[in-house]
Amino acid sequence: MAASTRSRAWRIGALCVSVVAGYAFVSSAVTSRGSDLRPAGGDIAPLLQDRAREVELKRASATSLEDQIAGLSAAVGAPGLDQLISAGDIAARDAGIVELSGSGLRITLTDAPRSADEAATDPNQLVVHQQDIQGFVNAMWAGGARAVTLQGQRLISTSGIKCVGSTVVIDGVPYSPPYVIEAIGTTSRLLNALDRSSQVEVYREYVRRYSLGLQTEIDSTITAPAYTGRVDLRHAEVPTDG
């Protein structure tokens, strides 16, 4: 009887040990989420040292990059950067791609009245032509104009002015007289440029002889809108036989 009791106690003890061991295994697995709780070998000091070295290397790299950025910024400097921005603004203004306002001249050219027909032997002498408009526009550029418009349209170096019948075509858009030219710049220089232009002098002679219209005004509130057309050059080539 005593032997049976000891045997039963041993089996119960073994079962308890198994249950406790199983519970510990499950807890370990849940805590580590399926991974080892510690690296192989049980010593994490080398791993921590490696991580520390890696952090130091990255920190040194970041410091080096910061030094390079600081060096480049110092090389450019605030004055140098301001100069670059200012040069960009001037280039945009000269290219006509930004709106510009200021004082300058407004010139209006109109055809002669019908009453002047008897004074002219050629009807072409009584109308404003392409070369007349170009003469005044060129004088404005020669006088240092910072912006020039024709019929409210901004003119740039590649703008085309063509005479088609009784109208003038600007970048493909036809306009009828009166033709209004506005230029922003120093008024005295613009007026002097008009007096020096031989083309303007020819037009003034036609004003005296055939009553062509010419009006010149000083205006302190001229606005030249930004140019919105194409800025690239376009040309045609004559096909060759081949």
Binned average pLDDT, 10 residues per bin, the chain of 242 residues: 51 48 46 46 61 73 80 66 65 74 96 73 84 94 95 86 78 87 97 96 94 95 87 59 54
Q: How would you classify the pairing of strands 179-184 and 100-110?
A: antiparallel
Single pTM value for the model:
0.60
Q: Residue 240, CB half-sphere, CA atoms under 13 Å: how many?
A: 1
**What is the C-alpha separation between 165 and 176, in angstroms, rounded?**
10
**How many CB atoms sit inside 10 A of residue 227's CB?**
21
Beta bridge partners of 175: 168
Q: Cα–Cα distances in Å, from 222 out to 5, 39, 95, 144, 148?
A: 117, 80, 18, 16, 10
92 phi/psi in degrees, rounded to 5: -65, -40
What is the SS3 assignment for 217? strand
